[in-house]
Amino acid sequence: MSEHRLGEIVIERPRGGMRCSSRRLKGVKKELDRITKEATEDGLLRPYLIKVRNKTKSLSDHLNPLRRFLRSKVGQPWDQVYSELCQEIKPNTLTGQHILSHLWSDVELHIEIIDGVPYRKKYNRFSRYPLGYLGCFGPINTEFYVHPETKILCLAQKVISPDEKPKKRDDLIWIDDYHQYRKIDEIWYVITLEDFTPDLVVTDVVLKVPMTSKVAHDEYKKQVYAAHKRQCSKRELKLIQAKLSRI
């Protein structure tokens, strides 16, 4: 889609909200049933009275074109990129100002480079994370930034914050996809994992809880559970010590 219509593309998207008056709804039964069903799905239904949650429609901006524009300009001088964008969106208009407000959310101008990694200079609760940091639900920091020395528009690499990286465990060693050595109450065991389906009720012999998909993925990163365990032999204990010495 042409970047020359960037201002229209970002703003001209159907607004969010229902086409319902906030007054009591009247009309034929068929129309009322339709609206009632729609309101029920949106969690807006009250018995005999349907009210919209928001009395006015709200903007539902389509920001992918703006981010595609920025991605296409990575590696170019920021002043040049900003000038080109301003020619397209006319920043003295309400629409242009609205797009610029999104721009400043997507592009970080004030950063510092620490060990080759960009961080925000301005303090906030995400400042300790590098730009492009991936949280549980995706990036929680801006991905675009202007390099403090070259003034070039850059794209931050997706990284995991050093203090968020999982620590190596000294009580667990994976043998293969379905077997592991695991220390429980200071005793080493061989654990055998098996697949299970959500409709199957199984108990994990390590965690000692009924297994669910969430627990399985949190503990084993896949849909399995600890089905069997046995105490390690002397030979296996020597192998475990050798593996731990290399961690």
What does the alpha-carbon distance between residue 162 and residue 155 come to, in Å, rounded to a whole number?
19
pLDDT of residue 105: 79
pLDDT of residue 106: 82
pLDDT of residue 238: 94
Q: Give the pair of three-digit tokens for residue 105.
A: 């959310």
pLDDT of residue 93: 82
- Please give the model's pTM, rounded to 2 decimal places: 0.42
Mean pLDDT, consecutive 10-residue stretches, the chain (247 aa), reads 53 51 54 62 45 45 73 91 87 81 83 78 58 53 81 78 61 92 94 88 91 85 92 94 84
